[in-house]
Structures are given as structure tokens and as C-alpha cells.
């Protein structure tokens, strides 16, 4: 173990570990399996919901892994045991769901214990979940509930569509929530102090190493804290430009469509 440059690999999924078709490629699967055999911890940190990620990681033969989901609102081990849960307060979740928005250009979503809910049918989202088949239920959020809300997120046709929503939430709930962008067109709201970084910090408290022994990969603004706090953070070539501007000190690697994370890991750990 002392010869390994890092003890854990931490990776975002969409735009990072998953390829251009939003699935995990064979080259990446083989790479993660080889690292696991070397007793390197594999930690996936994503905005996706646990049920979605569990199916993806099920394609990889791993002895151990941690799944940080909903941007840090939940963490599970490979066996499905819940390690961390941090939901929005019910009343605040409900109020956020009622945020005024342009219904022609914005769709509101929630991840809750019962599933994924959305304000309007968006079949084009299915391409992101073809591996797992995990999909939404269309609901009227005026008649919905706020129980066990991992996150509320707004998908806009353009980034400009989300600016007034961000301003509204910052004004009314700024002290109570953590707000970030997973992509330029997806604004996400979790409970205060929820992030991939805070969840990761809690995961490694149960290890014999710290955050400085982790190497992490990401492409979105919801990866900023995680990439900044580990021993080495790497930004994808296809990353949100705001992430590159926010973290200019971090190395930028190749593109997710070329499975660049796997290539980088093989070079870093001497795995071929």
C-alpha cells in the first residue's frame, strides 16, 4: 500500500467517469476492477440518486465501494447500507418546489425517498438513465409533499432561465440550503452543509487515511469543494467553463467521451 500514490479514487459520473453515451465503458470497468484488486478504495460522488448509481456500479466487480449520491445528501456502501442521510427540512423543500419559474423553459424536479418527481414529461432525459432504467414520475408540485427530500433541482433550456430562480432561492432560503450547478442548465438545492466534499470527509473518517490521500475527478460546479479539498483534483476537458475558472490551479485532463479518467488512473497507478 505504501507504494500507491493515493489510497482512494473519487469520481463524479456524468461528464466524468461515464462516456459520451452516459454509460460506463468497458475500458473504465476494467480499470476500476484492477484498482480494486490493488486495494484502492473506489468512491463515486454524483448528483444522481442511489437507485440509479447502484445499477451502474453493479456492472463493475468491486470488493468495496462507497456511493455518494444526490450531491452528498446520501451515502451508501456497496452492500446498500445507508451511511449518511441529510434531507432538506420538509417545509423548506415544499416552499422551494413552489418557487416561481418560467413553465415554458424550466422544469422542476425532486429526488425524494419515494423516487424522482418532475413537473412535466421530458422523455429526452431517458438517455441519461438507459443503464438503470431509473425514471421519473410526473406530479403537480402544488399537490406534492416535502418528505425526505434529498434535493430539488431546476432544469432550464438555457442557463439564463435559471438566474431568477437562483436569485429567489438565495434571497429566501440562503441561510438554510446549499445551492450549486451540476451542469450550466441544472440548478440543484440541498440542505445546508450538504455537498460531495462534506460527504466524502465523513466517509474517510472511517478510514486510516485522510482527504489528502484521495484523487478526485469532476466536471461541474457541484465538484468544486470536492476537487479542492482532496490530495489531487482533476478537471475534465469537457468541464463547465466556470469550474475551470474557479479552480485554475487544478490539472485539466481529457474528455469523458474518450474515457480519460480511466486512462489517467492507469498512468497514475501503473495499471495496464
According to the model, what pLDDT value does residue 26 have? 97
According to the model, what pLDDT value does residue 127 have? 84
CA gap 196, 28 in Å, rounded: 22
> How is domain 90-191 classified at the CATH fold level?
3.30.1240
Within 10 Å of residue 171's Cβ, how many Cβ atoms?
Answer: 8
According to the model, what pLDDT value does residue 49 have? 96
According to the model, what pLDDT value does residue 218 have? 98
CA dist list (Å): 33 to 27, 29, 104, 203, 232:
10, 6, 44, 21, 21
Within 10 Å of residue 41's Cβ, how many Cβ atoms?
Answer: 22
Place of cell 421530458: 122
Task: Look up the pTM and report it.
Answer: 0.95
For the segment 153-193, what is each residue's pLDDT rounded down to a tens digit?
999 999 999 999 999 999 999 999 999 999 999 999 999 99
What ranges do the domains of the chain cover?
Answer: 8-85+194-269, 90-191
Edge-to-edge strand list for the sheet holding 214-218: 82-85, 74-77, 65-69, 41-45, 8-11, 214-218, 232-235, 251-252
130 contacts 23 by C-beta, under 8 angstroms: yes
For the segment 178-233, what is each residue's pLDDT rounded down to a tens digit?
999 999 999 999 999 999 999 999 999 989 999 999 999 999 999 999 999 999 99
Domain 8-85+194-269: homologous superfamily in CATH: HAD superfamily/HAD-like (3.40.50.1000)
Active site residues: 12
C-alpha cell, 220: 461541474
Residues of the chain with pLDDT under 70: 1-2
According to the model, what pLDDT value does residue 1 have? 47
Amino acid at each position: 500500500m505504501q507504494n500507491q500514490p493515493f489510497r482512494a479514487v473519487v469520481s463524479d459520473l456524468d461528464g466524468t467517469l461515464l462516456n459520451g453515451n452516459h454509460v460506463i465503458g468497458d475500458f473504465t470497468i476494467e480499470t476500476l476492477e484492477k484498482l480494486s484488486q490493488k486495494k484502492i478504495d473506489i468512491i463515486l460522488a454524483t448528483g444522481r440518486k442511489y437507485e440509479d448509481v447502484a445499477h451502474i456500479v453493479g456492472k463493475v466487480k468491486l470488493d468495496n465501494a462507497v456511493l455518494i449520491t444526490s450531491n452528498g445528501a446520501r451515502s451508501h456502501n456497496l452492500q446498500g447500507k445507508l451511511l449518511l442521510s441529510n434531507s432538506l427540512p420538509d417545509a423548506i423543500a415544499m416552499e422551494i418546489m413552489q418557487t416561481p419559474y418560467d413553465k415554458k423553459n424550466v422544469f422542476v424536479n425532486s429526488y425524494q425517498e419515494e423516487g424522482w418527481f418532475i413537473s412535466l414529461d421530458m422523455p429526452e432525459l431517458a438517455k441519461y438513465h438507459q443503464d438503470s432504467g431509473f425514471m421519473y414520475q410526473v406530479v403537480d408540485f402544488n399537490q406534492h409533499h416535502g418528505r425526505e427530500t434529498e434535493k430539488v433541482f431546476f432544469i432550464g433550456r438555457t442557463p439564463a432561465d435559471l438566474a431568477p430562480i437562483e436569485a429567489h432561492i438565495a434571497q429566501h432560503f440562503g441561510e438554510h440550503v446549499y445551492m450549486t450547478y451540476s451542469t450550466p442548465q441544472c440548478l440543484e438545492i440541498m440542505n445546508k452543509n450538504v455537498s460531495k466534499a462534506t460527504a466524502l470527509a465523513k466517509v474517510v473518517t472511517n478510514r486510516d487515511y485522510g482527504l489528502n490521500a484521495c484523487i478526485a475527478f469532476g466536471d461541474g460546479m457541484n465538484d468544486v469543494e470536492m476537487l479542492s479539498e482532496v490530495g489531487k483534483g482533476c478537471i475534465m476537458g469537457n468541464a463547465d467553463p466556470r469550474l475551470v475558472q474557479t479552480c485554475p490551479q487544478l490539472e485539466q485532463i481529457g474528455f469523458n467521451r474518450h474515457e480519460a479518467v480511466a486512462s489517467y488512473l492507469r498512468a497514475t497507478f501503473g495499471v495496464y
